[in-house]
Amino acid sequence: MPGAGSNRRALPLRAAAERGGGREEIHGARTVAEAEEIRVGAAADFDALDRAAPRLNARAPGAFLCALGTTIAVAGSRDAFARVDRDYIAATARLARQAGATHGALVSSVSANPRSMNFYLRTKGEAEERVRAVGFTRLDIARPGMLLGMRERPRLAEQISAPLLRALSPLMQGPLSKYRAIDAGLVAAALVARLGEAQPGVFIAHHRDLV
């Protein structure tokens, strides 16, 4: 999606990460510029997404961008975490595809792998697999390291580690560069910019691709 003036439509999905619940806002926009300006949307129940289908179908989105995520601590259990970070993501992607979106964009995690022994990374990898299976003509997946920036619910571990990671980032060279911490705003901007790309396929973006 080139941006303002485009006749395609974008369907951005705000992250429910820090709210830890099953309700969040799903927005439909006619252009990327409009999507960036939207601040208030209709609440959607992630356990009953079919109810949102008529509204999304009316928007006829050309693209889907998802930054949904939570933590086990906020969700309350591993099962609840997986429901948000895997199941809700896959369900909204299917909904967007059914509404006409051909371009998908997803914020995942560095080292995401559906066969990982690490539960978090395995869940992120499974989410990627399910979104791939939806059938977008083009899918951009961002795999950032720790995301830096303001959160509605500050995480103590991140507050402690963020300054250290910022200091160490310049020392992470070569294969280690993908583990660098990165501002969440840079990841969002990179994915929005990729909505203008037309080449089909699945594209993975690590730190160096996002800055």
Q: Mind telling me the catalytic residues?
A: 120, 124
Q: What is the tally of helices (H) and strands (E) in the chain?
A: 9, 9
Q: Count of residues for the chain? A: 211
84 contacts 16 by C-beta, under 8 angstroms? yes
What is the DSSP secondary-structure string of 6-19? -SS-EEEE---TTT
Euclidean distance between CA atoms 70 and 151, whole angstroms: 11
Identify the CA nearest to 91 among candidates 59, 62, 68, 108. 68
105 contacts 63 by C-beta, under 8 angstroms? yes
